[in-house]
Amino acid sequence: MLLCLALALISALVYVFLILGIMKAGEMAPEGEVPTFFYIVPASYVIGGLLILLKKRRLWIAGAVLNIIPIVVFYAAYAGKPDVMLSAPGLIAKTSQILLEIGLIYLILTFKRNSIEKT
């Protein structure tokens, strides 16, 4: 669970760095403009990461479903832009989001198994 939280916070931090201009991801948007969803995504990852700690399987399932959205949007929006796809922020954020997805699926599957074993 803590690893999933850390991955969610890393994802949020990358988006914050992009917003602040600390990191750049190729020709993502016109100079000085950040896509609007970049302001929603970091807050969502922080809140979602903290919700992981509540140990509620339903929340993990919701998080796994919602985590797919920024991954799909990124690949759909920037598929033809290798300077964005292969940039440090792109690789770091997507790697942490994909690992988070794997971690959430693991938690979902093992939680059910552990709850069955206890009964």
pLDDT in tens, 35-86: 777 788 899 999 999 999 999 999 999 999 999 998 998 899 888 888 888 9
Domain contains 95: yes
Residue 25 has pLDDT above 90, yes or no: no
Domain count for the chain? 1
- Tell me what pLDDT residue 114 has: 57
Domain that holds residue 75: 2-23+35-118
Tokens matching residue 95: 């790697």
What percent of the chain clears pLDDT 90, i.e. is strictly above it?
A: 56
Residue 29 has pLDDT above 70, yes or no: no
Instruction: Please state the pTM of the whole predicted model.
Output: 0.85
What 36-43 contacts at long range (C-beta under 8 Å, 24+ apart), as own/partner pairs, is 37/70, 37/73, 41/11, 41/12, 41/15, 41/70, 42/11, 42/12, 42/13, 42/15, 42/16, 43/12
**Residues in contact with 85: Cβ distance below 8 Å, sequence separation at least 6, in sequence order:** 75, 78, 79
Domain contains 30: no
